[in-house]
Structure formats: C-alpha cells, structure tokens
Amino acid sequence: MFLFFLSSGLFLGWSLGANDAANVFGTAVGSRMISFKKAAILCGIFLVLGAVISGAGPSGTLEKLGTVNAIAGAFIVALAAGISVYIMTVMGYPVSTSQGIVGAIIGWNLFTGSLIDYTSLTKIVSSWIACPILSAIFSIILYKLVVIYIKTFNVRMFKLDILIRYGLVIVGIFGAYSLGANNIANVMGVFVPVSPFRDISFMGIFSFTSAQQLFFIGGIAIAIGVITYSKRVMMTVGTGIMKISPVSAFVAVWAHSIVLFLFASQGLERFLINHGLPSIPLVPVSSSQAIVGAVIGIGLLKGGKGIRWKTVGGISVGWVVTPLLAALISFISLFIFQNVFQQQTYKPVEYIVSTEAIERIENQGIPTNELKGMLDNKFPSALRFNNALKESTNIRHKDLNFIMESTEYHKMEITDAGIRSLDTEWLTEEQLRALEKLDGQIFIHKWMMDKTISRASPSWRIKKGDKLFNRTLRSKFAYIHNLFRTREVFMR
C-alpha cells in the first residue's frame, strides 16, 4: 500500500522534472549550445545526486508548515501539487513544485483543522520574492564580470564559443545538483514522517537514511520527467522571455544555480552561524522564479527593450494560480478520499494541559498563570486548542509552537510485547537495554518519553556537532513513539 500511495509523489517528481529541468538547461538548449538529449541525460544524473546528498535541509521547513501524519493524506497532498504543476506544464509555463506543494499542504491544514505555521509560511513566501530579485542581481554582476574577462583577454569568437559550451555544461551540472538538493523536499518531504524505511548502515562507514532512500526514489522520478517531457518548457524559458545570446544563457543558468544552492546548503548555513552571521533560510525555493529573474536581470542590463513582458506577465500569473489551485485540489480530494473511499487522510492530534506540560512551559520562561486555569482540559484538535488559548490567555505568538508541542497528547506505554518487536538491527544493543529498563512506564507526551529514555542511556542523547547521528536519533525516537503508542483516543 505504501508503494501505491507513494505513486503520487513519483508523479509530482515527474512533473518537477518535466517543468523545472527547463530552468537548468532551457537557456542552453534554447540558444542551441547544447542538444536536448545531452542536457536531459546530464540533468537527470546530477538531479539524483543532489537529492540524495544534500536534500535534507529544505525538507525540515516544509514539515514545520504542516506535518502530514497519514500516508493517505501524503498521497493526496503530493497528487494535488503534481496535478497543479502538470496543468501549468501543459500550458507551457515554468512554475515551481515549491508553489504546488505549499498550496497543497495548506489545503491539508484547512481540511484537518491543523494550525498553519505562519512563521514558516512567511519564510517560504519571502524566499519566493527574494529568489528572482537575488537571481537578477547575480546575473547582472556575473554578466559584467564575463564581459570584462572577454575584453581584457581579447577572447576570439571561436574560442569563446568553445568556452561557453563547456561553461554551459558545468553550470548546468551545478544547477541540476542544486535543483535536486533544493526541490526534492517538494516531492518527497510529505512522505518523510510516514516513511516505512529504516536507516541502512554500510559497514559503519556511511549511513543511507530513511529520508535519503525516499529522496533517491524521488530523484529517479524527476530524472524520468526530464527525459520524457521537459522539451516544451525548455523552449519557453530558452526563447519565450527574450532572445538571449550564448553568453547570456551561460550567465543566467549560473546565477540561477547559485541562488538555489544558497537556499539548500547546510554547510553554508553552519558556516554563517559559526561566524555570527545571519544565515540564509533552508527553504525549497522556486527554480522557475530564479531562472526568470536571471534572464530579466540580463534584459534590464541591456535596457529592457528585448524583454517580452507579456510572457513574463503570464508566467507571474502562473506563480500565483499554482498554490491556489493546489490548495483547492488538495482540500476537495481529501474530502472525497476520506468520505467516499473511507481512507484515513489524517490522524487526529489531540492536546491536554497537564501538570508536566505546564512545568515544562514555565521552565522555558513563558508565563503560565492563565494556562493553569485550563489544567487537565482536553482538546480534539490544534484549531480547537488554539481558539481556547486566544479566548482565555494572552499567549504571545512566538511562544505558541512551544506550548503546542508541550501539550500534544500522545499516550505511550513501554510494554514487553513492544520491546520484543523492536528492530534489533537498527537500534544498538545499548539502546535496546535502555528501553528494557523502562518496561511498564507510561507517558502522555512525546517529550516526556524522550527525556526519560535519554536519562536512561547516553546512546539516546543528542551529540553536539554530530548532525548525522542526531538526524538518525530523531528517526529512532519517531519510530518508538509510534511503536509504543496506545490506541486510546480521549475524544471522539
């Protein structure tokens, strides 16, 4: 059943490849510097590598926007995004799966009564505005540098042609890698919380995580989309906005690729943070907006007369329509899938204001006097709880997420039967022994279980600076949360 539900993610990946590959090699193919066949093969290979190696960063932001907690719901969300992107692809407009998946997740939030994390949403939408602007700025700077280089070294036409051909291949490869790294979160991000895969360790040298396995499958789907259906959109990007020279094509793809990489690089984020600099948010940005911004930047540098503003206007309308269309398709499809086909599209998330939760919130420095008046109150959804908080307390918006996390009801009991069913190949011997010591203990919040288990053994504790270990550890915690969860639901 998981493979069936995953099919919508594969369709979304195919749609991404069919549409967004144009942003990597469209200008090169449109200027006839590279054949479509060569571009498609190179793009497919490096998309997969980027997805597997560097795709983890942007997926976290999407998960904050809305954690789709049922596989049937993830199926519909990915399908809605895929359909919206496919419609725009058929029309020949370069849109982004980022816009499609964000709209579809918002549709899921509205249907399930889940809260929309406006901080994450603002971060993503702001990146959509910043992305084409940054890309235009980079393209202007790079174009001027390339022109200075050509004039300084008196590069002749024949040599320039050879350099540009090689340059288009190099920046196209970089762009394909960056596209896979940044946009694989759009394709497979909603499936990460419900993935049945387990991390695989190869002789203790490196680990192939559950998320990376999903990203690999999604990357293959993207590559197939590139090879089978991307030519039409490539021509729109390559020749539809304005006629561009080979040098302009090279600069546009280079600028686009840099912008995508900036919003996907965990290494750059760590470097900026370690040096006390403001970091660039790791969000799935629109590669379509990046390449369009780059092309327009070059056009503006040349006076703006050659830009086909009517085409640009049509593309811009597509950027607005895509998330709205995806949200509508998602909401309607979820209703039909749940009520007609009797599929569970979401698992109810309930909340209880417990004594332990209030104590944890107080330790965070958040006032709890008004919250104490809701002690032992239970709520069937995030929306109901949020409305009650607004009516009864003066909770600051920035504290809301921590309060929601602290009060989320998730009853778990560590039982002997559950311990016997643990994955002994994935969990270490020390981790298994720690769980055995806690046999019979009951928890009502995830954080309570995590705290108790981490006290029982260092093998369950976060390691400062070890990002790979910590990512795997979080996957293990999610695994035991579900394994030991009781099926009690306190409100029906």
CA 152 – CA 325 distance, rounded (Å):
50
pLDDT digits (tens, 9 = 90+) for 56-84: 666 666 777 877 888 899 999 999 998 99
pLDDT of residue 492: 39
CA distance 183 to 186: 5
Contact (CB, 8 A) for 396 and 371: no
pLDDT at position 60? 65
236: confidence class by pLDDT, cuts 50, 70, 90: low
Mean pLDDT of the region 4-31: 81
Q: Where are the domains of the chain?
A: 2-339, 350-409, 412-483
pLDDT at residue 374 tops 80: yes
What percentage of residues in the chain have a pLDDT greater than 90?
35
Average pLDDT estimate for 241-267: 83
Distant-in-sequence, close-in-space partners of 384: CB < 8 Å, separation ≥ 6: 113
Query: Per-residue pLDDT for 336 more than 70?
Result: yes
pLDDT band at 347 (very low <50, low <70, confident <90, very high): confident
Checking if the pLDDT of 158 tops 50, the result is yes
Q: Which of 48, 62, 132, 53 is nearest to 97 (CA)?
A: 62
Q: Does residue 304 surpass a pLDDT of 90?
A: no
pLDDT the model gives residue 264? 82
Whether residue 453 has pLDDT greater than 90:
yes
Both tokens of 135, joined, read: 């890309």
Backbone angles phi, psi at 375, to 5 degrees: -55, 130
pLDDT at 471 over 80: no
Give the pLDDT confidence of 84-126 residue by residue, as tens digits.
Answer: 988 887 877 777 788 899 999 999 999 988 888 888 888 888 8
Q: In whole numbers, what is the pLDDT of the chain averaged over residues?
A: 85
How does residue 27 score in pLDDT terms, banded at 50, 70 and 90?
A: low
* Higher-pLDDT residue of 378, 491: 378
Q: What are phi and psi of 241, to 5 degrees?
A: -75, -50
C-beta separation of 213 from 55 below 8 A: no
What percent of the chain clears pLDDT 70, i.e. is strictly above it? 92
Is residue 355 scored above 90 in pLDDT? yes
Tokens representing 436 are 């055995």
> What's the chain's Rg over C-alpha atoms?
24
Q: What does the pLDDT look like over 141-156, one tens digit per residue?
A: 999 999 999 999 988 8
pLDDT higher than 50, residue 468: yes
Is the pLDDT at 489 greater than 60, yes or no?
Answer: no
pTM above 0.85, yes or no: no
- Could you identify the residue written with the tokens 């939408």? 125
More confident call, 273 vs 72: 72
Whether the CB-CB separation of 291 and 256 falls below 8 Å is answered with yes
- Would you say residue 139 has pLDDT above 90? yes
Would you state the structure tokens that stand for residue 311, as one six-digit string?
A: 């085409």
C-alpha closest to that of 117 among 128, 109, 108:
109
Q: What is the pLDDT of residue 310?
A: 79
Using CA atoms, how far apart are residues 76 and 82, in angstroms rounded to an integer? 10
Euclidean distance between CA atoms 351 and 376, whole angstroms: 10
Average pLDDT over every residue of 394-403: 83
List C-alpha distances in Å: 314 to 84, 85, 311, 318, 432.
16, 15, 5, 6, 58
Least confident stretch, 6-10, 157-161, 453-457 = 157-161
Mean pLDDT in residue range 191-196: 78
Average pLDDT of 285-313? 84
